[in-house]
Every structure is written in C-alpha cells, then in structure tokens.
Amino acid sequence: MQTLLIATWNRHKTREIGQMLGAGWDVRDLASLPHAPKLEETGATFEENATFKALTVSKMFTGLVLADDSGLEVDALDGAPGVQSARFAGPNANDAENRFLLIRKLRNFGGDKFPARFRCVMVLASQSELLGSFAGIIRGNVVLEERGESGFGYDSVFVPQGYAETFGELQPEIKNSLSHRGRALAKVLEFLRS
C-alpha cells in the first residue's frame, strides 16, 4: 500500500481525496505528522499556494506529498473569491459565512445564476523535490439558494455544467468524478503510473 500525505488540515479535503483514490492508498493529512505547521496561503495564485505547501511538508515527510489549493471563481465578481475562497468573509470565516457573503454580493447583480468555475491545482513533491503540478477545472453556475447537504465549501451553491443539482445534492462518487479536484487528481494518478 502506497502512502500519500495530503498537505492539509482540512479533513473534508482529505476524505474526498481518499475516496477518489480508493483502495491501495494510505491517505494521511497533517494531523498525522508530529509538529506539523499551520500553512499560510499567501500566494497570489493557486499554484503558488500549492507549491509552497507541498515543498514545505515534503521536508518533514519521506514519502509522497500532495498539496492542493482550489477555489471558486465567479465571472460577475471578476474571478473572486478565487485564492481567497476559504477566507472570503474574513480570515476566520467558516464555510457558511463565505457562502452568505458570496450570495449577498451576487444578489446585487440581479438574476438567479452566475457563470463560475471551480479551479484546483495539485502539486506533488517528495523530499523537497517538486515532481509536478496538475490542474483541474469544472465550469457551471453559482445559484443563490443553498441546496444539498453533501460536500463542503461552496458545494451547495455550485451547479456543474450539464446538471440540475448542486455539488451538495449529487452523490459523492458523481461529484468526485466531475469535480475540479477529481480532474486534477486523475492527472496526478496518470503521472504516478507513467
């Protein structure tokens, strides 16, 4: 069984990646590392943040390290919340507060759905060496009414292109097969197999 350390404290993200990888992988996160640091996302891009996290953690762990930075980009907001997705409503905001602010800002434009995309960049590293960067995007619309209990972050307000349900309403295996994170992870796995 191959071990993969996800450079995150976000249990939702760890669980989601573990579900996508399936059997044969021992997926861990920063909670499994003694003295693991809090990793500040100060980069201007998803790739900068993911690279920083992957290289920092790979100095402390001998196996494969995968870091992910992802977020929602809404056209009407000129790509916001973008790299600030997790902190959109402030540095200590939770998912509900971030969604509330997003919906409040979008209501000012009129309409009930807004073109958007989820973007994910995953960076793979091992022992301070960058092995690769992999991106995934899913396009769709943000809706102004939260729907569904599955997922996390902005899942309950994002409807992927070609679907009527939000990510929060879709079964996890369907969401994972469509999602930005799923698309990036498929590229990571293809790289590891080559």
CATH number, domain with residue 114: 3.90.950.10
Q: How far apart are CA 45 and CA 141, in angstroms?
A: 22
**How crowded is the C-beta side of 112, counted as CA atoms within 13 Å?**
2
Structural domains counted in the chain: 1
- pLDDT at position 101: 98
Q: How far apart are CA 192 and CA 194, in angstroms?
A: 6
> In terms of residue numbers, what domain contains 158?
2-193
- pLDDT at position 35: 86
Of 65, 24, 20, the closest CA to residue 186 belongs to: 20
pLDDT digits (tens, 9 = 90+) for 163-176: 999 999 999 999 99
Average pLDDT, the chain: 95
111, amino acid identity: G
Could you confirm whether 69 is annotated as catalytic?
A: yes
- Please provide residue 66's backbone torsions phi and psi, each rounded to the nearest 5 degrees: -120, 125
Whether the bond into 81 is cis, omega within 30 of 0: yes
Q: How far apart are CA 40 and CA 154, in angstroms?
A: 21
- pLDDT at position 23: 86
Choosing from 69, 78, 95, 112, the catalytic residue is 69
Q: Residue 160 in contact with residue 138, Cβ under 8 Å?
A: yes
Q: Which residues of the chain have pLDDT under 70?
A: none
Token pair 């293809």 is found at: 190
Q: In the 8-state DSSP scheme, what is residue 14?
A: H
